[in-house]
Amino acid sequence: MIRIKNSTSIQHLLLFFFLFSSVISMAQIQKKGLPENVVITSNKGKTGVQSNENGELQLNVSPKDVNKFQTNGVVYYSDFGAKGDGKTDDIDAIAATHAFANQHNLLVKADEGATYYISGKNRTAVVRTNTDFGTAAFIIDDTDVQNRNANIFMVSSALQPFKLEGVTSLKRNQRKIDVSLPKACLITATNSNIKRYIRFGPNQNKGSSQTDIFIVDKDGNIDMNAPLIWDFDEITDITALPIDEITLKINGGRFMTIANKVVSKYSYYGRGIAIKRSNVVVDGLEHRITGEGDSGAPYSGFINVSECANVTVQNTILTGHKTYKTIGSAGVEVSMGTYDISIGRALNVSFINCSQTNDINDSKYWGIMGSNYCKNLIFDNCVFSRFDAHMGVANATIRNSTLGHQGINAIGSGIFTLENSTVRGRTLINLRSDYGSTWQGKLIIRNCVFVPANGRPVSASLIGGFNSGMHDFGYTCYMPERITIDSLYIDDSNHPDNYQGPAIFGDFNSKKSDDSYEEKYPYIITKEVSLKNVSTASGKPVRISDNTFMFKEVKVNRK
């Protein structure tokens, strides 16, 4: 929390009273548990910041400077002691600058031409006001880190979450709940007695508690653009977070991470920008990585969006992380997922006009993005190595984009739209087998180009996945009910000698080849596929699948 002490200067008593009142009112609505621990005073003397033996920042801002900063409406990192020389550790000054700005609702600006060195100290700058990093550089040194979970910046709301009383059950696609709220809120509901997403394969697990996240207005009306996807006969926890109405903007910044070199295991590093506030725009940021060696722990996302809604990242350049291996939960070697973009429990998140620094088809680097428990994700005009939804996405759109070697991987529900895009993955869309290859809804594909495996000689299939019908994932698994493909060019010019032409479906279960195969947990097959203006470089027509029995009931309409 932020505190302010009495000024010893009588002549500034009235000024202090004003400051004290504003600080207390801000402190009263701050979230508990935020990594912000700053004592701010307004005493005579120099403005400066220091850290005490408990790691608490102590910032003194002279009354003269308080008045100046408020008049100007902006504070710079150098105002609180940041050197910007690329050598001196500036994280304390950066955190103190934001703490003061948060109290007085001031714009924060990086100093033009500065290079800020950020050590592995356990310190997070909490951002609640507009921030302009400009052309300044930030060097984040992860070679010796005190707390690998301490983000450098946390974009947060001053509004406090609260338990929602009186809601004991919910239904899928429910339109209203019987509550009265102070303003529109982001609601998170959990039933810890039901497990979903019981993972299959080398990273197998026992599942996660049933969770849903949705927006409700002050009268209890649910935003049906992001509907409830689960029935809750019981609710073990339900929390409401008021949504900030004013958009917070973060501009610019040239960030460089010096990568960790620790033992390669699942000890994720979260040393970037965490966004936990609704209505945020990140514009013009760049993130690069250096120093990746023979070993290293994975990253949970330089841009990490969670527990919020309406976030846009635009005109931004990111970097894929080197892939390291470890032993997974099933006792076999696995490649560890490591991300520059991570999205969790978030709604209406868009990446617009974004790209990555390294080759999107270089398999040494893991796919750049991963997500869980999200709704309404958008890639627009992006060039990335991967789109991915682990534990479900409700509605997703990829348009005007190019996806590289890891392509499109998703499970979830609603409508998945792919248009005006090029995909260079193993399949056009891969329905993740570790979560049952399930999509309860529709796929719409328009005006796209598919280059199977980036041109390597493979037998192409459009929709990939696997489900034996023998594993309980915690839900009924579906293939897309309807698949509409309008104007697709398949560049299968480089193909194996025995190539029979691209298949709509991969072989989802080779053992299901006749009526004798019985599924313990039935997998619901697609009903209808519509094909229009689908062409191939090989000249071979599109066929249903290598496993014609499994898909014998699918109706295929060709135009």
The pLDDT, as a whole number, for residue 53 is 80
Q: What strands lie across the sheet with 208-216, from one edge to the other?
A: 162-163, 237-242, 185-196, 208-216
Give phi and psi for 93, each to the nearest 5.
-65, -40
The pLDDT, as a whole number, for residue 48 is 87
- pLDDT tens readout for residues 258-290: 999 999 999 999 999 999 999 999 999 999 999
Give phi and psi for 317, each to the nearest 5.
-115, 125
Half-sphere exposure of 32 (CA within 13 A, CB side): 2
Q: Which of 317, 305, 322, 304 is nearest to 259 (CA)?
A: 322
Q: What is the DSSP annotation of 293-307? A: -S----BEEEEEEEE
Q: Which of 541, 542, 538, 468 is nearest to 509 (CA)?
A: 468
Dihedral (CA of 126, 187, 316, 338) sign: positive
What does pLDDT average to over the chain? Answer: 93
Give phi and psi for 434, each to the nearest 5.
-70, -15
Residue 185 is encoded by which pair of tokens?
């809120």
Angle in degrees, 0-180, between the axes of helices 91-104 and 63-72, rounded to the nearest 10: 70
Residue 200 is encoded by which pair of tokens?
């299959």
Half-sphere exposure of 277 (CA within 13 A, CB side): 27
Is the pLDDT at 461 greater than 60, yes or no? yes
Is the pLDDT at 334 greater than 70, yes or no? yes
pLDDT, average across residues 7-27: 36
The pLDDT, as a whole number, for residue 9 is 38
For the ranges 54-58, 320-324, 428-432, which has the lowest average pLDDT? 54-58
Query: What pLDDT band is residue 29 in, cutting at 50, 70 and 90?
Result: very low
- What lies within 8 Å, CB to CB, of 207 at 6+ separation is 195, 196, 197, 198, 199, 474
Instruction: Give the C-alpha separation, 401 to 387, whole Å.
Output: 11
Q: Give strand ranges (E) for 197-315.
A: 208-216, 237-242, 248-258, 273-276, 280-283, 286-290, 300-314
Dihedral (CA of 59, 65, 69, 75) sign: negative
The pLDDT, as a whole number, for residue 12 is 40
The pLDDT, as a whole number, for residue 330 is 86
Ramachandran assignment for 291, one of left (phi > 0), alpha (psi -120 to 50 degrees), beta (any other): left
Quick one: which H or E segment has residue 102?
helix 91-104
Q: Which of 372, 342, 366, 332 is nearest to 204 (CA)?
A: 332
Is the pLDDT at 62 greater than 50, yes or no? yes
The pLDDT, as a whole number, for residue 44 is 85
Query: What pLDDT band is residue 36 in, cutting at 50, 70 and 90?
Result: low
- pLDDT tens readout for residues 442-456: 999 999 999 999 999
Query: What pLDDT band is residue 34 in, cutting at 50, 70 and 90?
Result: very low
Residue type, 59: L
Decide: pTM greater than 0.85: yes
Q: Which of 189, 89, 74, 206 is nearest to 134 (CA)?
A: 74
